[in-house]
Amino acid sequence: MIWKSIKVGFHRLGSPPTFYRFCLLLSPWLWAGFAICTIIGLYYAFYVVPPDYQQSDTVRILYIHVPAAWQAMAGYVVMAILAMIALVWRIRTTEIMAMMCAPIGAAFTLICLATGSIWGRPMWGTWWEWDARLTSMLVLLFIYLGIMGLYAAFEDRRKGARVACILVLVGLVNIPIIHFSVEWWTTLHQGKTIRIFGESSMHYSMMPPLIWMTIAVKLMFGAALLDRSRNELLSQDRRKGWVAKKLLGKGVK
Amino acid sequence: MIPELEYASFVWSSYGIFAVVVAWQILQPVLYRRRLMAELREEQALQSGEYDDPNP
């Protein structure tokens, strides 16, 4: 029964007006969740967690660097799943969502690279090192930018989206490379410090801001994705009846 | 109120970058939406003959 409702709900989201309403309803809640989690996360990061015995206060940079890095990769996986669905079932709303993941993912990759570089200067003595983790992360940024460029290069956006979806799936190979780069190669970047299964080498007292900020960036990714998808849908469907109806009626919010 | 940190410039510049990027993620869809709505209203006014040309 529940499964059937989920299935029906999922199929309904394929309809542009329903998807539009869904984005409109859900996005403010995700933004609110993001704001709450960020406030709690920042409070922990600056007022509760002590400085690290070696890194001192620079450890606080990691409370945004690590969640941003995780989200940059998770965002790519989400984009790849959406791209796969879009290519197989040709669902336009999924196609739009896949394409709108790219600028948000690129933003998180940029945060990760910039904050990592700033952290690296006092801790490693260098802003940048061509090590496997850093380089593969930079490649991720270029892949995101490539997807955005490819999508924008086509006048027919659906054709552009289909081509870009193929690039998304090709670029997926970079995700395990980023993840395992610290194991496969000798890198300046430290190895895994946080494990879901097994003991983390990071002290538990430092976990709360990381957890809160991780939830915050995930909610932000969702909210920004819905906002951008809603806009893109409106732009693509500008000549469609449902948009005109909304404009003539109560007005599109 | 503002915590005194070692390596403060590094920490605050990181959080500054984070804040700017987050702000852009919030603002960009709002600004784009505003522009899009203006375009759509103009197109609709043109189609219905209610377009009030600001430069006649």
How do residues A145-201 score in pLDDT, each as one tens digit?
Answer: 999 999 999 999 999 999 999 999 999 999 999 999 999 988 888 887 777 777 777
Q: What value does the mean pLDDT take over residues A71-92?
A: 96
The alpha-carbon gap from A46 to the nearest alpha carbon of chain B, in Å, equals: 7
Number of other residues whose CB lies within 10 A of the CB of residue A239 = 10
Q: Is A11 on the interface with B (CB under 8 A)?
A: no
Q: Are A171 and A129 in contact (CB under 8 A)?
A: no
Whether residue A61 and residue B29 make contact (CB cut-off 8 A), yes or no, is: no
Best of A231, A237, A242, A245 to disrupt the B interface (most B CBs within 10 Å) is A231
Whether residue B14 and residue A252 make contact (CB cut-off 8 A), yes or no, is: no
Per-residue model confidence (pLDDT) at position A248: 63
Which tops the pLDDT comparison, A215 or B5? A215
The alpha-carbon gap from A225 to the nearest alpha carbon of chain B, in Å, equals: 9
Of residues B32, B22, B41, the one with CA closest to residue A227: B32
The alpha-carbon gap from A184 to the nearest alpha carbon of chain B, in Å, equals: 29
Per-residue model confidence (pLDDT) at position A140: 98
Which tops the pLDDT comparison, A66 or A241? A66
Q: Are A25 and A215 in contact (CB under 8 A)?
A: no
pLDDT reading at A48 higher than 70? yes
Give the residue from chain B lying closest to A120, CA to CA. Answer: B10
Give me the residue label for tokens 């003991």.
A199
pTM of the model: 0.91
CA distances from B51 to A229, A235, A246, B46 (A): 29, 20, 19, 5
The gap between the terminal CA atoms of chain A, to the nearest Å, is 34
Domain spans, chain A: 27-248
* Percent of the residues in chain A that have a pLDDT greater than 90, as a whole number: 74
Q: What are the backbone dihedrals phi and psi of residue A186, each rounded to the nearest 5 degrees, phi first?
A: -80, 115
User: Residue A22 — very low, low, confident or very high, per pLDDT cuts 50/70/90?
Assistant: very high
Whether residue B10 and residue A224 make contact (CB cut-off 8 A), yes or no, is: no
Which DSSP category does A55 fall into? T
pLDDT reading at A5 higher than 90? no
User: Residue A218 — very low, low, confident or very high, per pLDDT cuts 50/70/90?
Assistant: very high
